[in-house]
Amino acid sequence: MDMIRRVEPLFLLLLIVGGLNWAIIALFDTNVVTEIFGTGTVTDIVYALVGVAALMEIPRLLDGLGVHMGSHGAHPTGA
């Protein structure tokens, strides 16, 4: 768990880079990641890392929203 906390700033940076890249694609029709790395394996790795970073941040986001996941999570109650 400590290692995840140490790499969390990297996850956040990757999410920011990915989000800004999407915004630039939408506004200016230019893919910055492709401009920097070209098309190929390196670009695919960058996109995969952004996706992994997003998946790793889901629990933090849910915790921040007050949603707790697990076997003892919230269950609907009868009326």
Q: Please give the Cα distance from 45 to 51 (Å, whole number).
A: 10
Average pLDDT over residues 30-41: 94
Q: Please give the Cα distance from 55 to 75 (Å, whole number).
A: 24
Give domain status of residue 18, yes or no. Answer: yes
How much is the pTM?
A: 0.73
pLDDT digits (tens, 9 = 90+) for 17-26: 999 999 999 9
Range of the domain at 40: 2-64
Lowest mean pLDDT segment, chosen from 1-5, 24-28, 33-37, 54-58: 1-5
pLDDT digits (tens, 9 = 90+) for 43-53: 999 999 999 99
Give domain status of residue 10, yes or no. Answer: yes
Give domain status of residue 75, yes or no. Answer: no
Tally of domains within the chain: 1
Helix 41-64 × helix 2-28 angle, to 10°: 110
Question: Can you point out the beta strands (E) in the chain?
Answer: none
Give domain status of residue 70, yes or no. Answer: no
Give domain status of residue 78, yes or no. Answer: no
Give domain status of residue 71, yes or no. Answer: no
Give domain status of residue 41, yes or no. Answer: yes
Give domain status of residue 39, yes or no. Answer: yes
Q: Please give the Cα distance from 11 to 22 (Å, whole number).
A: 17
